[in-house]
């Protein structure tokens, strides 16, 4: 798809390296398991801030950011995963195939709060 069209991005705009993490179970050595996060993939993204603010939560103010991460389409990323970018953990809230033609993936994620 050509740049300047209605596509959410051009491959030249994918400048930010983002780590995708997946929750995994690791043996704790005592017969049980511990939940941890492991690197699933590294992807290049265009990032657009969609919202930032300080919503009230449980009688306190919490700073949160919401960003849209645009990358080349992948079928193996889902909302149970999270992202690492700019020293922050981003909880994925939505993953969508932009035009249902498997070209671009739009990942909406929140930093600053647990989801």
Q: What is the mean predicted confidence (pLDDT) over 43-61?
A: 72
Span 72-106, pLDDT tens digits: 999 999 999 999 999 999 999 999 999 899 999 99
Q: What is the mean predicted confidence (pLDDT) over 15-39?
A: 94
* List of domains in the chain: 11-111 (2.40.10.270)
Q: What is the CA radius of gyration of the chain?
A: 16
pLDDT for 3 beyond 80: no
Confidence grade of residue 11 (pLDDT, cut at 50, 70, 90)? confident
């Amino acid at each position: 798809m050509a740049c300047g069209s209605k596509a959410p991005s051009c491959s030249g705009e994918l400048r930010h390296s983002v780590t995708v993490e997946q929750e995994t179970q690791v043996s704790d050595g005592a017969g049980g398991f511990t939940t941890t996060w492991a690197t699933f993939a590294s992807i290049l993204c265009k990032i657009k801030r969609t919202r930032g603010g300080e919503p009230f939560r449980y009688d306190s103010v919490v700073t949160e950011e919401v960003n849209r991460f645009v990358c080349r389409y992948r079928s193996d990323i889902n909302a149970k995963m999270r992202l690492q970018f700019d020293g922050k953990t981003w909880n994925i809230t939505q993953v969508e195939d932009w035009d249902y033609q498997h070209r671009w993936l739009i990942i909406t994620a929140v930093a600053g709060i647990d989801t």
